[in-house]
Amino acid sequence: MTRCTTCPYCGVGCGLQATPQPDGGVALSADTHHPANRGRLCVKGAALGDTLGHEGRLLSPQVDGAPADWGFALDSVADRLSAIIRRHGPHAVAFYASGQLLTEDYYAANKLMKGFIGSGNIDTNSRLCMASAVVGYKRAFGADAVPCCYEDLEQTQLAIVAGSNAAWAHPVAWQRLLAARQARPATKIVVIDPRRTASCDDADLHLPLRPGTDAALFAGLLHWLHQQGGLDPRLWPQLNGLEATLAAAAAWTLPAVAQFCRLAEADILAFYRLFADSDRALTLYCMGINQSTSGSDKCNAIINLHLASGKIGRPGCGPFSLTGQPNAMGGREVGGLANQLACHMDFSEENVDRLRRFWHSERVATEPGLKAVALFEAIARGEVKAVWIMGTNPAVSLPDGLRVRQALTGCELVVVSDVSAKTDTTELAHILLPAQAWGEKDGTVTNSERRISRQRRFLTPAGEARPDWWIISQVAQRMGFASAFAWHHPAAIFREHAALSGFENQGRRAFDISGLATVTDDEWDRLTPVQWPVNARHPQGQARLFGSGRCYHPDGKARLIPIQPRLPVAKPAALWPLLLNTGRTRDQWHTMTRTGLVSRLMQHQSEPWCDIHPLDAARFGLEDGCLARIQSAQGWVVVRCRLTSSQQPGCLFVPMHWNRQFCNMANVDQLVAPHTCPFAGQPESKQTAVRIQRYDCDWQGVVLARQPLTLGDAVWWSRMPYGAVTAYWLAGSGAASDWFAALAGHAHWRYQQAQTPEVLHRLGWGDGALQIAFYAARGAQPVIDIPAVVAAFSDAPAPEDRLALLAGQQASGEAAGRTICSCYGVGERQIAQAIDEGCGTVEALGKRLRCGTNCGSCIPELKQLLARQPA
Ligand SMILES: Nc1nc2c(c(=O)[nH]1)N[C@H]1C(S)=C(S)[C@@H](COP(=O)(O)OP(=O)(O)OC[C@H]3O[C@@H](n4cnc5c(=O)[nH]c(N)nc54)[C@H](O)[C@@H]3O)O[C@H]1N2
Ligand SMILES: Nc1nc2c(c(=O)[nH]1)N[C@H]1C(S)=C(S)[C@@H](COP(=O)(O)OP(=O)(O)OC[C@H]3O[C@@H](n4cnc5c(=O)[nH]c(N)nc54)[C@H](O)[C@@H]3O)O[C@H]1N2
Ligand code: SF4
Ligand SMILES: [Mo]
């Protein structure tokens, strides 16, 4: 039977259908009925079927490095946590959770820590992601409530895309916006981003502002509108703080904004006029706004503008924070952030009392706990002695990565619930608990537009994996809280959560799904996607909020917040002349635990890299394709340079994804400083002061093998899975032949070798098949046809073709080149050839090669190739 479910990746929250196949497999396809995607999927969603295998999965619990049964593992967690609490009190323990948990899991974790252990110390990776957006909404509306919905993408006249590369990070929402503009060409798109991203390819206007200066741009717009008479005086009685906000914005005249943001006045004015002339304007914002030491103020600068101009609460209007993870929003609802309680309640005495009565617990935490960055600092100082990490990989994703690793290494008790056996974080755990993965577990998630959807089970769990909610409640029971954690089904947790949302609410809290508090298990299982609130007033949910102007502050009025735009803490200086930006790439998800398994997703960008402007490259003696070492006050990485004018001079970009499982020297968060926003606690992951220099090595190469290799740190390496073969890009010092000899193989393998002073190629044959292939060149990376070499592992070439293989080339035929379209595996060289042969448009390429015809994420790159090689 087909089961509808929700994508486990981004906050767009697309629906999928999973249909069991006669051969025992599962066919996945887009759900044509899901309101978030209506039949569309992006590359990552479309490749989900390739991630369902058990490769790399954590299959059984482990305690102190040894396999354990569940009973022993759960007892160990409960006993050790309880012992630490007895000795040092409840604040000596902490949970660090994730926007990738399901709402039911998240609710259980929050209830255990804040309701029964009695500490506020549960925080989440959403701190690195949405915390500023939460502060922005709460300050403005008195509630963490996104006013908008995806239909606004279709109904707006102006989409302002600020600090978001939605073409890659929220592809299906982006495609909806583009489709809407195609239907109504008067719709305009303005992208605000220091880099020229894939999203800019479709923009009517790109404002490449100086990093970190968005607040001034928006404050300037507010001031300019006010001067033009563009604000709506009818709204003013409903607003608090307007006068002070306008007074603060008055400094931001056009010339002042132009100077601060380093933009041309004409471009700024073009943007401001578009806003003034559009009755319906929508601002979509994401990490380029949130990940900042003044992220909260940037969010409020955006919200101020929409409130004062009345572009909110109507179709096509509003400040729309795009959530990152599939259930970042659910985490905000249950109280996954250390500075809130549950169901959007804060730590006021009244709310603490309310929760005491609802949970029947005398131990409810009375004050906020430690936010993520501060939490790991407290672990490092030994103040927090135990941490339970669930569904996140902090050794990779938190700033000041080296210190985070040290903190975990020195911590008395590190418990990790994960689906992957080997991550940078699981490697540091004392107790490992195998969680059920997407497709194996059942629960709900909430997407960017407040829409609650079901993730449904359609697979048998791997090994002994258990649902996260079950693991948490088992530990809670063993810690002595049996009756409060006696759930037998996730639907029971959902009902409790829904009931709490309505408990003594009386319209005071925006988050209210009390209309779902009495669903039966069966109704919960059949739940169709619905946008909260779901209550007596809105039994079918509600698409847009704040249409009436009423907010959740005690006086019911929305608040404008006076903003003083500030530059990032990181400032370029003599020692650190460049500003490092970090973020996402199209085909990878975070720390690559899932997408890194899929070779077609790895082929889009197979190595960690750094984008650098040609002027900076010349200044620091770098060329396209060379390896460079980037250093900050915190640490360093080694990545490959890509020269591109999409970067502005003075700024670098390195992806956030790579970590020690994929490259031994490319975890970019080892560079990022732990500076945070004073209101949100969110780190400034987008701006770090760094320097760059060429990475000295004698040779570069690639080694391909049937088994993953243990390469150590004597060389720089970067791993790329290629089906049954694993490839590693390499850079080393000394003689390549010595390195390979030390690595290599079996006595009975026979080696074929080609060597000149410049290159060393070696193929190892055993049992009639290719076992290992090594290509090294002095200085630069060898030019090798990797797909051809990979193919030779399964189809040993005829002896007369082995010389071509030794040369690293395919014997005949044209190789496809770097994968551009991941959906259909279409490569750069195939596309170039088709263009040469007359395909002059994206549509023509799609007809010929199918590229770009599924999810559309590669269309920006197809356009670039077309522009580069006119037919
Ligand atoms: N493919 C893919 N998609 C994802 C994810 C993924 O890992 N991979 N992760 C999901 C998650 S959790 C999240 S949070 C979202 C993130 O989605 P996005 O926020 O769209 O992605 P990022 O690449 O982190 O950053 C967005 C842009 O902010 C820009 N930026 C940097 N500094 C500034 C600045 O000062 N001002 C402005 N205006 N822009 C700036 C960067 O150049 C970058 O292009 O993506 C979600 N979707
Ligand atoms: N420099 C820099 N750093 C960043 C960012 C940036 O832009 N720049 N972005 C930040 C942002 S926005 C985010 S959201 C974070 C993301 O960073 P992380 O949350 O650290 O990244 P993930 O790889 O998503 O980690 C998820 C982990 O949970 C496991 N997992 C998957 N499903 C389940 C499950 O059902 N149960 C359990 N228990 N485990 C599961 C996976 O195997 C994986 O180990 O990174 C942040 N760090
Ligand atoms: S846009 Fe892609 S990654 Fe995001 S939910 Fe949809 S299919 Fe999944
Ligand atoms: Mo995120």
pLDDT at 813: 45
> 239 pairs with which residues across the strands?
558
Q: What would the mean pLDDT of 538-562 be, rounded to a whole number? A: 94
Same domain flag for 197 and 336 = no
Out of 34, 172, 587, 823, mutate this one to test ligand 3's pocket (max ligand atoms within 8 Å of CB): namely 172
Ligand 4 centroid vs 326 CA: distance in angstroms? 9
Measured in degrees and rounded to the nearest 5, phi and psi for residue 863 equal -60, -40
Q: What would the mean pLDDT of 22-44 be, rounded to a whole number? A: 93
Sheet-wide strand order for 451-455? 443-446, 451-455, 530-531
Measured from the CB, is residue 193 less than 6 Å from ligand 1? yes
pLDDT at 811: 52
Residues whose CB falls within 8 Å of the CB of residue 673, separated by 6 or more in sequence, listed in order? 399, 400, 569, 570, 632, 633, 634, 684, 688
Tell how strand 688-694 and strand 578-583 pair up. Answer: antiparallel
* Residue nearest ligand 1's atom 22 by CA: 583
Same domain flag for 765 and 789 = yes
Same domain flag for 781 and 828 = no
Are residues 129 and 325 in contact, defined by beta-carbon separation less than 8 angstroms? yes
pLDDT at 185: 92
Say what the alpha-carbon torsion angle 776, 777, 782, 786 is, to the nearest 10 degrees. -10
Q: What is the pLDDT of residues 220-253, one digit of tens each?
A: 999 999 999 989 888 878 899 999 999 999 999 9
Measured from the CB, is residue 115 less than 6 Å from ligand 1? no
Name the residue among 222, 231, 235, 233 with its Cα closest to residue 313: 235
* Residue nearest ligand 1's atom 17 by CA: 169
First to last CA, the chain: 48
Same domain flag for 74 and 121 = yes
CATH number, domain at 95?
A: 3.40.50.740
Work out the pLDDT band at 170, boundaries 50, 70, 90: very high
Kindly tell me if the per-residue pLDDT of 528 is higher than 90: yes
Out of 201, 287, 675, 858, mutate this one to test ligand 1's pocket (max ligand atoms within 8 Å of CB): namely 287
CATH number, domain at 19?
A: 3.30.200.210
461 DSSP 8-state letter: P
Same domain flag for 78 and 46 = no
Kindly report the average pLDDT of the chain as a whole number.
94
Same domain flag for 25 and 114 = no
Are residues 702 and 786 in contact, defined by beta-carbon separation less than 8 angstroms? yes
Q: What is the pLDDT of residues 348-391, one digit of tens each?
A: 999 999 999 999 999 999 999 999 999 999 999 999 999 999 99
Measured from the CB, is residue 10 less than 6 Å from ligand 1? yes
Ligand 3 centroid vs 338 CA: distance in angstroms? 28
Give pTM, 2 decimals.
0.94
Q: What is the pLDDT of residues 612-641, one digit of tens each?
A: 999 999 999 999 999 999 999 999 999 999
Kindly tell me if the per-residue pLDDT of 729 is higher than 70: yes
Q: What is the pLDDT of residues 792-817, one digit of tens each?
A: 999 888 877 788 888 887 654 455 66
Same domain flag for 186 and 310 = yes
CA dist., res. 433 & res. 80, Å (int) = 15
CA dist., res. 750 & res. 765, Å (int) = 5
Pocket of ligand 3 (CB under 6 A): 7, 9-10, 12-14, 37, 41-42, 44-45, 170-172
Residue 123 host element (H or E) = strand 122-124
Kindly tell me if the per-residue pLDDT of 756 is higher than 60: yes
Work out the pLDDT band at 871, boundaries 50, 70, 90: very low
Ligand 2 centroid vs 424 CA: distance in angstroms? 12
Answer whether residue 675 is part of any domain: yes
Work out the pLDDT band at 594, boundaries 50, 70, 90: confident
Last residue of a domain, one of 679, 694, 709: 694
Q: Which atom of ligand 3 is nearest to the CA of 36?
A: 6
Last residue of a domain, one of 694, 713, 728: 694
How many CA within 13 A on the CB side of residue 21?
Answer: 8
CATH number, domain at 168?
A: 3.40.228.10
CA dist., res. 622 & res. 732, Å (int) = 18
Pocket of ligand 2 (CB under 6 A): 98, 100, 125, 128-129, 287, 291, 324-325, 390-394, 396-397, 417-420, 423, 435, 437, 468, 582-583, 590-591, 593, 656, 668-669, 672, 685
The total of structural domains in the chain comes to 6
Amino acid in the structure at residue 156:
T
Measured from the CB, is residue 208 less than 6 Å from ligand 1? no
Of 6-10, 451-455, 521-525, 597-601, least confident by mean pLDDT is 597-601
Residue 842 host element (H or E) = helix 842-849
Residues whose CB falls within 8 Å of the CB of residue 382, separated by 6 or more in sequence, listed in order? 410
Answer whether residue 359 is part of any domain: yes
Q: Which atom of ligand 1 is nearest to the CA of 192?
A: 38
CA dist., res. 472 & res. 417, Å (int) = 10
Answer whether residue 559 is part of any domain: no
Answer whether residue 148 is part of any domain: yes
Ligand 4 centroid vs 394 CA: distance in angstroms? 13
Kindly tell me if the per-residue pLDDT of 272 is higher than 50: yes
Same domain flag for 794 and 754 = yes
Residues whose CB falls within 8 Å of the CB of residue 798, separated by 6 or more in sequence, listed in order? none
pLDDT at 225: 97
pLDDT at 747: 72
Q: Is the peptide bond before 194 cis (omega within 30 degrees of 0)?
A: no
Kindly tell me if the per-residue pLDDT of 529 is higher than 90: yes
CA dist., res. 239 & res. 308, Å (int) = 8
Kindly tell me if the per-residue pLDDT of 781 is higher than 90: no
Work out the pLDDT band at 870, boundaries 50, 70, 90: low
Q: Which atom of ligand 2 is nearest to the CA of 398?
A: 47
Same domain flag for 311 and 337 = no
Q: What would the mean pLDDT of 191-195 be, rounded to a whole number? A: 98
Q: What would the mean pLDDT of 485-491 be, rounded to a whole number? A: 97
Q: Which atom of ligand 3 is nearest to the CA of 46?
A: 7
Q: Which atom of ligand 2 is nearest to the CA of 669?
A: 1
Answer whether residue 535 is part of any domain: no
Kindly tell me if the per-residue pLDDT of 506 is higher than 70: yes
* Residue nearest ligand 3's atom 6 by CA: 14
Q: What is the pLDDT of residues 204-214, one digit of tens each?
A: 999 999 999 99
Say what the alpha-carbon torsion angle 211, 213, 215, 219 is, to the nearest 10 degrees. -140
Measured from the CB, is residue 288 less than 6 Å from ligand 1? yes
Answer whether residue 343 is part of any domain: yes
> 257 pairs with which residues across the strands?
none
Tell how strand 651-655 and strand 750-755 pair up. Answer: unpaired
Q: Which ligand is nearest to the CA of 683?
A: 2
Measured from the CB, is residue 326 less than 6 Å from ligand 1? no
Range of the domain at 348: 62-125+329-502+511-528
The alpha carbons of the chain give a radius of gyration, in whole angstroms, of: 27
Q: What is the pLDDT of residues 641-684, one digit of tens each?
A: 999 999 999 999 999 999 999 999 999 999 999 999 999 999 99
CA dist., res. 241 & res. 770, Å (int) = 72
Same domain flag for 703 and 613 = no
* Residue nearest ligand 1's atom 7 by CA: 589
Q: Which atom of ligand 2 is nearest to the CA of 325?
A: 14
CATH number, domain at 595?
A: 2.40.40.20
CA dist., res. 62 & res. 415, Å (int) = 10
| Sign for the pseudo-dihedral over CA of 584, 587, 589, 592 | negative
Answer whether residue 548 is part of any domain: no
Q: What would the mean pLDDT of 425-449 be, rounded to a whole number? A: 98
Last residue of a domain, one of 264, 297, 321: 321
Same domain flag for 181 and 312 = yes
Measured in degrees and rounded to the nearest 5, phi and psi for residue 413 equal -140, 115
Answer whether residue 549 is part of any domain: no
Kindly tell me if the per-residue pLDDT of 854 is higher than 50: yes
Residue 209 tokens, joined: 């502002």
| Residue entry with tokens 């006249």 | 157
Same domain flag for 447 and 371 = yes
Ligand 4 centroid vs 675 CA: distance in angstroms? 17
Name the residue among 831, 834, 782 with its Cα closest to residue 809: 782
* Residue nearest ligand 2's atom 27 by CA: 392
